[in-house]
């Protein structure tokens, strides 16, 4: 399967702990996005990369969140000092090189985070 | 603020036609996309409208009116497998790839 993969698929943690998620995009895609989705809502943009450069970060993202894409391939999203409000599905998506007008994004299965 | 409004739920029977509306209020507009998401699954791209008018892709069509800040997704010959949530999404600026998603419409198809 050459789609977007995310690990782990589920994470349960206690409030105050740090967690890290990994996303492996489709290999030829140079753009990578992170979104957060809560039950009954649409995905909410967090940040995105073009190759290793982080081009945009949501103003809603607190300083406890950090994302990296060190070699322009896989990406990690770290949440420090987790809070119960961080419980959500964290989705990763990628899109190919080029200024495609439709900007079709290919989503991974997500990592479901539960903060107790 | 930026918002995309959709009906929360729509129901229909197999073989029917259903329309899911989306009205948007964003700082800029560079295209309207539609995504489908089955329960527990990942969103998948369905269609895109950059200009006014109708785009057809098989049983699905999408329409855009930029002057009305409005679009819709039309699903024809409904099948049980079409039961899912449908999201409209806007690219709000030319210098960003981020998408702003709507609140989502849950479609239930009954036999």
The reply to whether B41 touches chain A by the CB within 8 Å rule is yes
Closest Cβ–Cβ partner in A4, A56, A91 for B96: A56
Closest Cβ–Cβ partner in A41, A103, A109 for B104: A41
- pLDDT computed for residue B89 by the predictor: 96
Residue-by-residue DSSP string for B53-108: EEEEETTEEEEEETTTTEEEEEE-S--GGG-EEEEEEEE--TT---EEE---EEEE
> Above 60 in pLDDT, residue A1?
no
Residue of B nearest to A95 (CA): B97
Residue of A44, A84, A76 lying closest to A60 (CA atoms): A44
Closest Cβ–Cβ partner in A31, A41, A43 for B97: A31
The reply to whether A17 touches chain B by the CB within 8 Å rule is no
Q: Is A87 exposed, middle or buried (0-12, 13-18, 19+ CB in 10 A)?
A: middle
Neighboring chain B residues of A105 at a CB cutoff of 8 Å: 45, 99
Residue of A nearest to B91 (CA): A103
Under a CB-based contact definition with an 8 Å cutoff, are residues A32 and A21 in contact? no
Q: What is the percentage of chain B residues whose pLDDT exceeds 90?
A: 85
> Above 90 in pLDDT, residue B95?
no
The reply to whether B50 touches chain A by the CB within 8 Å rule is yes
Instruction: List the structure tokens of B99.
Output: 């998408």
- pLDDT computed for residue A81 by the predictor: 97
- pLDDT computed for residue A71 by the predictor: 87
pLDDT digit string (tens) for B8-32?
999 999 999 999 999 999 988 989 9
The reply to whether A61 touches chain B by the CB within 8 Å rule is no
Residue of B13, B28, B25, B24 lying closest to B82 (CA atoms): B13
What is the rounded CA–CA span in Å between residue A104 and residue A10? 26
pLDDT digit string (tens) for A16-37?
999 999 999 999 899 999 999 9
Mean pLDDT of B81-97: 91
Please state, rounded to an integer, the average pLDDT across all residues of chain B: 94
Residue of A nearest to B51 (CA): A101
């Amino acid at each position: 399967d050459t789609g977007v993969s995310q690990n782990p698929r589920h994470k349960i943690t206690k409030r105050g702990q740090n967690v890290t998620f990994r996303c492996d995009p489709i290999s030829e895609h140079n753009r990578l996005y992170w979104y957060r989705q809560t039950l009954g809502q649409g995905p909410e943009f967090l940040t995105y990369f073009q190759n290793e450069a982080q081009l945009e970060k949501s103003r809603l993202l607190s300083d406890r969140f950090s994302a990296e894409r060190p070699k322009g391939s896989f990406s990690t999203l770290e949440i420090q000092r987790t809070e119960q409000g961080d419980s959500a599905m964290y989705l990763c998506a990628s899109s190919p090189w080029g200024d495609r007008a439709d900007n079709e994004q290919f989503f991974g299965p997500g990592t479901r985070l539960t903060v107790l | 603020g930026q918002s995309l409004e959709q009906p929360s739920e729509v129901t229909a029977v197999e073989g029917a036609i259903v329309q899911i509306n989306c009205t948007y209020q964003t700082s800029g507009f560079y295209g309207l996309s539609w995504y489908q998401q089955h329960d527990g699954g990942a969103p998948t791209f369905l269609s895109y409208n950059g200009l006014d008018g109708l785009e057809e892709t098989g049983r699905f069509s999408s329409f855009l009116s930029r002057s009305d800040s409005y679009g819709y997704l039309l699903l024809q010959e409904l099948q049980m497998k079409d039961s899912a949530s449908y999201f409209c999404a806007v690219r709000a600026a030319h210098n960003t790839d981020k998408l702003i998603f709507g609140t989502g419409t849950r479609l239930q198809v009954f036999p």
